[in-house]
């Protein structure tokens, strides 16, 4: 069996905030990520989906240790990195990179594209063959940017092009894992496909693993090999893509899938829709028992008191529900 | 019966230091009561600019607007483009209302929901403030906000994103508008909340028999709610027809390209997405001829390089189905079938 690039064991990240205004002494603990298990194999794409506030972004950031984990383990290429210091993390960072959601906020407006992409080499103290400039231009060409634009500033590029800069920066050191946090959601429809295809091609070329964090299930369905569905800091369901989309077993996954609008009017009219009532509860005060029970249409007494475990339900398919849907 | 709104040859442009930005150019469409028209396009295609012009919300001094946007009111037609600002102002809220994309920035953070909604009511109704708040509670209840009588006293920040959007919808409905323009009403929301809001819009349309213009970039949302569709590209309508035609026999290479480029949950498989190459043109220096030509894979099928020289007209190539393309219908069938055409 191949060893996973990344393994999470019961990862937890709690944030403390003050209740009742900035000056209040009353502390609340927000359980953004509350015991997440996850495995990513080399060259694999795992899609991490859920509604805003479910903790998917926090998972991505904690993996890269942009947040210090509260509990659990992060194992990267067999090495436990959960509590590594910043200094000892640094050499590992060339192996794990991130692509951010907002291509406008994630690029320093005062640096040229050349400097932005080249910085990765300086930080790691690596001199690529033929020099930094040549390598950066090669990268620019690879992601579909004109290498002659080496000295341009981010504002001279469109949203899609900026995201390509972000991609070039992430792949510069040929990492083993890229955490892509909503990499296409800020882009226009016709540009999204270009970037999705680029990510696909690069993965094949460099055999990188992706953790693809997104709320858009259509994109996740397209790009992922495996999909993890999160709700309120917990994993609700995890399965191979085809399995998950063809036969979701957790009521939340089922509702989520049925809510995705389909660009096909006749199919859309005929589709059975499960309308979830209400909003996501606050992660500062999650419901007892199953966290989803307040919105679940199948809720029973057991759900209100007992937390369902994430259990194997069929081959490579796990779900956390007392009363899973039939396959 | 005449449609409630008739937009005729509407153009909006903004003079800037870099040149004239032609944000929307020669837009014509109609919407009747009880009907939903979707205006689809990417950012910068001119969809919001057009609707703001209908609402009379552009600064008339710094914006060049030409054409007509006629509201056929029971008292007679009014053109919101040429009518005095004071007249248009009195139509807003009562005859036409708008829902904005971001409910957090569209609601005033200092005032309670009841206060803001009551103000909208007070503009057109005699009666005390308490009456206005009573009406607000009725509508909040109607749009599905639990415990409306209590929540009407709360501030916008105390509501979640989906709830705020419900408040926006309720506020737009305060004076039973005949036309509702919804500008990306669900873009900021999660899918489960999105489907609640779309259902709500459909219910409210029935309840109030409104003409609805839905502005969006999401072809999935359009498929769920629209009766007719206008596809916009670089400030112009490139395709216009009823809902099914746009999806099952799209008649413009841009529409075909869009439909092929979106990943879909209803189609499993590892097919490669067919991206439209390039990016939308600058509205300051549009390419000559067809604005979509630089990205169009089929322009070579048109003889004499006409796509690069002549701007195509919005022609009725199929019954009640308009498209702005030099390709003939038989060529379009070819373009459509190999990949597009759907199903």
* DSSP line for B85-117: HHHHHHHBTTTEEEE-S-HHHHS-TTS-HHHHH
Is B18 touching A (CB cutoff 8 A)?
no
If one counts every other C-beta atom within 10 angstroms of the C-beta of residue A108, the result is: 11
Rg (C-alpha) for chain B, rounded Å, is 21
What is the Cα–Cα distance from B266 to A268, expressed in whole angstroms?
10
What is the Cα–Cα distance from A215 to A290, expressed in whole angstroms?
22
Q: How confident is the model at residue B342 (pLDDT cuts 50, 70, 90)?
A: very low
Residue of A nearest to B196 (CA): A275
Summarize the confidence of residues B294-323 as an average pLDDT.
93
- The residue among A191, A193, A197 with the most chain B CBs within 10 A of its CB, best to mutate, is A193
pLDDT confidence of residue A84: 93
Residue B340 pLDDT greater than 50, yes or no: no
What is the Cα–Cα distance from A160 to A46, expressed in whole angstroms?
23
Q: Which residues contact B76 (CB under 8 A, 6 or more apart)?
A: none
Residue of A nearest to B43 (CA): A188
pLDDT confidence of residue B270: 65
Residue of B nearest to A216 (CA): B191
Which residues on B lie below 8 Å from A255 (Cβ)? Answer: 192
How far away is chain A from the Cα of B119, in angstroms, using its nearest Cα?
A: 28
pLDDT confidence of residue A2: 83
Lowest-confidence range among A11-20, A51-60, B133-142? A11-20
Is A10 touching B (CB cutoff 8 A)?
no
What is the Cα–Cα distance from A201 to A196, expressed in whole angstroms?
9
What is the Cα–Cα distance from A147 to A129, expressed in whole angstroms?
17
∠ Cα B181 B187 B189 (to 5°): 115
How far away is chain B from the Cα of A93, in angstroms, using its nearest Cα?
A: 31
What is the Cα–Cα distance from A203 to A194, expressed in whole angstroms?
14
pLDDT confidence of residue B341: 39
Average confidence score pLDDT of chain B? 91
Contact call for A268 and B224, based on CB within 8 A: yes
* Boundaries of every domain in chain A: 253-327
Contact call for B192 and A221, based on CB within 8 A: no
- The residue among A190, A194, A199, A224 with the most chain B CBs within 10 A of its CB, best to mutate, is A190
For B16-65, the pLDDT digits (tens) are: 999 999 999 999 999 999 999 999 998 889 999 999 999 999 999 999 99
Which residues on B lie below 8 Å from A280 (Cβ)? Answer: 160, 190
Q: What are the residue ranges of CATH 3.40.50.300 in chain B?
A: 5-226
Which residues on B lie below 8 Å from A259 (Cβ)? Answer: 191-192, 194-195
What is the Cα–Cα distance from B246 to B321, expressed in whole angstroms?
8
- The residue among B42, B143, B223, B252 with the most chain A CBs within 10 A of its CB, best to mutate, is B223
The CA–CA distances, whole Å, from A138 to A125, A129, A191, B278 equal 19, 11, 22, 20
Summarize the confidence of residues A20-25 as an average pLDDT.
68
Is A194 touching B (CB cutoff 8 A)?
yes
Q: How confident is the model at residue B144 (pLDDT cuts 50, 70, 90)?
A: confident
How far away is chain B from the Cα of A217, in angstroms, using its nearest Cα?
A: 7
If one counts every other C-beta atom within 10 angstroms of the C-beta of residue B220, the result is: 20
Lowest-confidence range among A17-21, A70-74, B79-83, B205-209? A17-21
For B267-302, the pLDDT digits (tens) are: 776 678 888 998 889 999 999 999 999 999 899 899
Contact call for A262 and B259, based on CB within 8 A: no
What is the Cα–Cα distance from A55 to A38, expressed in whole angstroms?
14
Which residues in chain A (205-234) have CB-CB distances under 8 A to chain B?
215, 217-219, 221-223
- The residue among A188, A196, A295, A297 with the most chain B CBs within 10 A of its CB, best to mutate, is A188
CATH superfamily of B5-226: P-loop containing nucleotide triphosphate hydrolases (3.40.50.300)
Which residues on B lie below 8 Å from A51 (Cβ)? Answer: 190-193
Q: How confident is the model at residue B337 (pLDDT cuts 50, 70, 90)?
A: low
ipTM of the complex: 0.86
Residue B199 pLDDT greater than 50, yes or no: yes
Residue B3 pLDDT greater than 50, yes or no: yes
For A195-241, the pLDDT digits (tens) are: 999 999 999 999 999 999 999 899 999 999 999 999 999 999 999 99
Is A190 touching B (CB cutoff 8 A)?
yes
Is A193 touching B (CB cutoff 8 A)?
yes
How far away is chain B from the Cα of A242, in angstroms, using its nearest Cα?
A: 7
Which residues on A lie below 8 Å from B217 (Cβ)? Answer: 188-189
Least CB-CB distance to A190: which of B243, B247, B276?
B276
- The residue among A45, A182, A189, A256 with the most chain B CBs within 10 A of its CB, best to mutate, is A189
Give helix then strand counts, H and E, for chain B: 13, 12
């Amino acid at each position: 069996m191949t060893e996973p690039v990344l393994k999470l064991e019961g990862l937890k990240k709690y944030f403390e905030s003050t209740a009742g205004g900035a000056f209040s002494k009353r502390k609340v603990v927000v359980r953004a990520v509350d015991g997440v298990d996850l495995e990513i194999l080399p060259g694999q794409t795992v899609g991490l989906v859920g509604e805003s506030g479910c903790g998917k972004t926090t998972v991505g950031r904690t993996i890269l240790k942009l947040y210090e984990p509260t509990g659990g383990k992060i194992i990267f290429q067999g090495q436990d990195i959960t509590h590594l210091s910043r200094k000892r993390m640094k050499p590992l960072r060339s192996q794990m990179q991130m692509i951010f959601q907002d291509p406008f906020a994630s690029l320093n407006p005062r640096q040229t594209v050349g400097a932005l992409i080249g910085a990765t080499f300086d930080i790691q103290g690596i001199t690529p063959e033929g020099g930094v400039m040549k390598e950066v231009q090669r990268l620019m060409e690879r992601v579909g940017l004109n290498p002659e634009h080496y000295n341009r500033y981010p504002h001279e590029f469109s949203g899609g092009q900026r995201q390509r800069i972000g991609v070039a920066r992430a792949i510069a050191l040929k990492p083993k894992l890229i955490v892509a946090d909503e990499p296409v959601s800020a882009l226009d429809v016709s540009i999204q496909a270009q970037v999705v295809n680029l990510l696909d091609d690069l993965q094949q070329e460099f055999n990188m693993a992706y953790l693809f964090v997104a709320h858009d299930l259509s994109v996740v369905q397209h790009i992922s090999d495996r999909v993890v569905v999160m709700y309120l800091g917990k994993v609700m369901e995890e399965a191979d893509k085809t399995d998950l989309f063809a036969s979701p077993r957790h009521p939340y996954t089922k509702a989520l899938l049925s809510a995705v609008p389909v660009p096909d009017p006749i199919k859309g009219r005929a589709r059975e829709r499960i309308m979830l009532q209400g909003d996501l509860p606050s992660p500062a005060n999650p419901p007892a028992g199953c966290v989803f029970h307040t919105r679940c249409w199948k809720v029973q007494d057991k759900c209100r008191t007992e937390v369902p475990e994430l259990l194997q339900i069929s081959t490579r398919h796990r779900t956390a529900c007392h009363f899973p849907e039939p396959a | 019966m005449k449609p409630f709104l008739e937009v005729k040859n509407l153009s909006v442009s903004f003079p800037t230091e870099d040149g004239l930005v032609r944000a929307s150019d020669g837009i014509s469409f109609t919407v009747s009561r009880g009907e939903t028209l979707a205006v689809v396009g990417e950012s910068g295609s001119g969809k919001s600019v057009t609707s703001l012009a209908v609402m009379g919300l552009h600064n008339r001094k710094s914006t060049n607007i030409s054409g007509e946007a006629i509201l056929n009111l029971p008292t007679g037609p009014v053109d919101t483009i040429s009518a005095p600002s004071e007249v248009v102002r009195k139509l807003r809220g009562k005859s036409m209302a708008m829902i904005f994309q971001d409910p957090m920035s569209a609601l005033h953070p200092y005032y309670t929901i009841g206060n803001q909604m009551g103000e909208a009511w007070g503009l057109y109704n005699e009666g005390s403030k308490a009456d206005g708040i009573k009406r607000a509670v009725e509508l909040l209840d109607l749009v599905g906000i639990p415990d409306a009588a209590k929540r009407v006293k709360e501030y916008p920040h105390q509501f979640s994103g989906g709830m705020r959007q419900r408040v926006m919808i309720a506020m737009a409905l305060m004076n039973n508008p005949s036309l509702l323009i919804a500008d990306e009403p669900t873009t900021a929301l999660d899918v489960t909340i999105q489907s609640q809001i779309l259902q709500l819009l459909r219910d409210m349309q029935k309840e109030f028999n409104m003409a609805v213009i839905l502005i969006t970039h999401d072809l999935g949302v359009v498929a769920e709610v629209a009766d007719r569709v206008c596809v916009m590209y670089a400030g112009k309508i490139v395709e216009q027809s009823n809902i099914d035609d746009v999806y099952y026999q799209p008649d413009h290479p841009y529409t075909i390209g869009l439909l092929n480029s979106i990943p879909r949950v209803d189609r499993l498989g590892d097919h490669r997405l067919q991206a439209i190459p390039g990016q939308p043109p600058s509205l300051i220096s549009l390419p000559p001829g067809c604005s979509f030509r630089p990205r169009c894979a089929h322009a070579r099928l048109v003889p004499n390089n006409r796509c690069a020289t002549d701007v195509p007209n919005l022609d009725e190539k199929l019954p009640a189905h308009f498209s702005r393309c030099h390709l003939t219908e038989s060529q379009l069938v070819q373009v459509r079938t190999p990949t597009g055409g759907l199903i």
